[in-house]
């Protein structure tokens, strides 16, 4: 691997503010992996790390302003549900405030919109939302209590990538049974912590010029160093469909992904293209089914591919 990339990555992590509660997160990960893939047990689940939502890039050390990559987290939340349905245990590495698994069909501000207090002073679900609310709460609790869903929140790009590294290194022991489904919108640019303004940038002195440097590409190091046996899926989002497939294919080869899911901003809920070394596979939402989504067939396809990959690995 390119030694300048390795030193860029090292300097990214060295310059990052320390991750809060690193030891607590490490404990949770260890426990989750042991529970779902006991070293001496025969009933091992596959484990997928789903990343979801956008990362922020702080522009000031005492952070008032930051650059945000927009992502609702809908894709990651939906995919998590289908992975669990397919028997996987999911480490859901998500941006705070984005969509949560099992809660996609709820309105914004669900807490205020879905409940009412009766005259007898008990809280009840408002009628139109009754079924959605019940299944959301029930299914979410079942997944967490059942030990197949571990949720880890992040806000900044530093937190997201620090935790991704921890997950990858911990999950390495399960070899090809591990999968990475990297749906989060990770920023391409950042301001190194040390060169960041300590205090709020002052206005009043003309335009603001900013220089952001590229985030080193972690995908290479994830594949080659952190978890070399894991099955890796990355995402490519563009607003310009003309360059989308070409860029997805470049990412596939450059980072040696097992598949890249190409999606265009305006049609991403209807279709995606799974770009692989054996060709491109378009995946469509089933338009004949009300309430269907593109994640259902997408996860089916990827689970099949993962099965074939595990078989090929001969374990």
If binding is defined by CB under 8 A, does position 194 make contact with its own copies? Answer: no
- Which residues in the 22-51 window bind its own copies by CB under 8 A? none
From CA 164, how far away is CA 299, in angstroms rounded? 21
If binding is defined by CB under 8 A, does position 121 make contact with its own copies? Answer: yes
If binding is defined by CB under 8 A, does position 20 make contact with its own copies? Answer: no
Question: Could you tell me if 235 and 244 are in contact, meaning their C-beta atoms sit under 8 angstroms apart?
Answer: no
From CA 98, how far away is CA 111, in angstroms rounded? 15
Q: What is the DSSP string of 227-265?
A: -TTSEEEEEEEES-HHHHHHHHHHHHHHTT-SEEEEEEG
> Which is nearer to its own copies, 177 or 234 (by Cβ)?
234
Shortest Å, Cβ 235 to its own copies:
13
Shortest Å, Cβ 157 to its own copies:
12
From CA 179, how far away is CA 230, in angstroms rounded? 5
Stretch that binds its own copies, among 6-14, 138-146, 221-229, 277-285 (CB under 8 A): 138-146
Number of residues that bind its own copies (CB under 8 A): 62
Question: Which single residue is written with the structure tokens 């209807």?
Answer: 270
From CA 199, how far away is CA 201, in angstroms rounded? 6
From CA 233, how far away is CA 149, in angstroms rounded? 19
If binding is defined by CB under 8 A, does position 177 make contact with its own copies? Answer: no
Per-residue b or e along 238-272, where b marks 16 or more CB atoms closer than 10 Å to that residue's CB = beeeeebbebbbebbeebebbbbbbbbeeebeeeb
Stretch that binds its own copies, among 75-83, 210-218, 269-277, 293-301 (CB under 8 A): 210-218
Please choose, from the candidates 8, 21, 17, the residue with its C-alpha nearest in 3D space to the C-alpha of residue 66: 17
From CA 176, how far away is CA 231, in angstroms rounded? 6
If binding is defined by CB under 8 A, does position 127 make contact with its own copies? Answer: no
If binding is defined by CB under 8 A, does position 203 make contact with its own copies? Answer: yes
> Which is nearer to its own copies, 33 or 84 (by Cβ)?
84
Stretch that binds its own copies, among 6-14, 26-34, 120-128, 167-175 (CB under 8 A): 120-128
> Which is nearer to its own copies, 172 or 217 (by Cβ)?
217
> Which is nearer to its own copies, 200 or 311 (by Cβ)?
200
Q: According to CB under 8 A, which one of 30, 38, 41, 213 is a site residue for its own copies?
A: 213
> Which is nearer to its own copies, 135 or 307 (by Cβ)?
135
Question: Could you tell me if 286 and 249 are in contact, meaning their C-beta atoms sit under 8 angstroms apart?
Answer: no
Q: Kindly give, in sequence order, each residue whose CB lies less than 8 Å from that of residue 178, ignoring residues fewer than 6 positions away.
A: 46, 47, 48, 49, 171, 172, 227, 229, 230, 231
If binding is defined by CB under 8 A, does position 21 make contact with its own copies? Answer: no
- Which residues in the 256-285 window bind its own copies by CB under 8 A? 265-266
Stretch that binds its own copies, among 1-9, 83-91, 136-144, 268-276 (CB under 8 A): 136-144
If binding is defined by CB under 8 A, does position 287 make contact with its own copies? Answer: no
If binding is defined by CB under 8 A, does position 67 make contact with its own copies? Answer: yes
Question: Could you tell me if 63 and 23 are in contact, meaning their C-beta atoms sit under 8 angstroms apart?
Answer: no
From CA 282, how far away is CA 226, in angstroms rounded? 30
Binding residues for its own copies (CB under 8 A): 56, 59-60, 62-70, 96-97, 100, 103, 106, 108-112, 114-117, 121-125, 133-134, 136-138, 140-141, 185, 187-189, 198-200, 203-204, 206-214, 237-240, 265-266
């Amino acid at each position: 691997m390119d030694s300048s990339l390795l030193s860029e990555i090292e300097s990214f992590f060295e310059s990052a503010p320390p991750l809060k509660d690193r030891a607590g997160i490490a404990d949770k990960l260890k426990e989750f992996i042991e529970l779902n893939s006991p070293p001496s047990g025969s009933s091992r689940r596959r484990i997928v790390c789903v990343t979801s939502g956008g990362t922020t890039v702080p522009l000031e050390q005492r952070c008032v302003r930051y650059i945000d990559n927009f992502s609702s987290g809908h894709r990651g939340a939906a995919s998590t549900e289908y992975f669990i349905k397919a028997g996987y245990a999911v480490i859901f590495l998500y941006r705070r405030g984005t969509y949560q698994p099992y809660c996609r069909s709820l309105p914004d501000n669900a807490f205020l919109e879905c409940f009412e207090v009766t005259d007898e002073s008990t809280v009840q679900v408002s009628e139109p939302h009754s079924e959605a609310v019940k299944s959301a709460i029930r299914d979410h609790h079942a997944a967490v209590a059942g030990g197949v869903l571990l949720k880890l929140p992040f806000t900044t790009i530093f937190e997201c990538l620090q935790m991704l590294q921890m997950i990858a290194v911990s999950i390495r022991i399960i070899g090809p049974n591990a999968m990475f489904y990297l749906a989060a919108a990770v920023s391409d640019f950042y301001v190194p912590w040390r060169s960041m303004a300590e205090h709020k940038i002052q206005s009043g002195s003309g335009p603001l010029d900013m220089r952001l440097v590229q985030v080193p590409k972690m995908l290479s190091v994830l594949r080659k160093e952190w978890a070399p046996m894991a099955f890796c899926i990355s995402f490519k989002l563009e607003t310009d469909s003309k360059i989308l497939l070409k860029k997805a294919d470049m990412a596939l080869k450059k980072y040696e992904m097992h598949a890249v899911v190409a999606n265009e901003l305006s049609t991403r809920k209807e279709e995606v293209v799974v770009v692989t070394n054996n060709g491109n596979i378009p995946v469509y939402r089933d338009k004949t089914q009300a309430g269907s989504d593109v994640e259902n067939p997408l996860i089916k396809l990827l689970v099949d591919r993962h099965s074939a990959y595990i078989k090929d690995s001969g374990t």
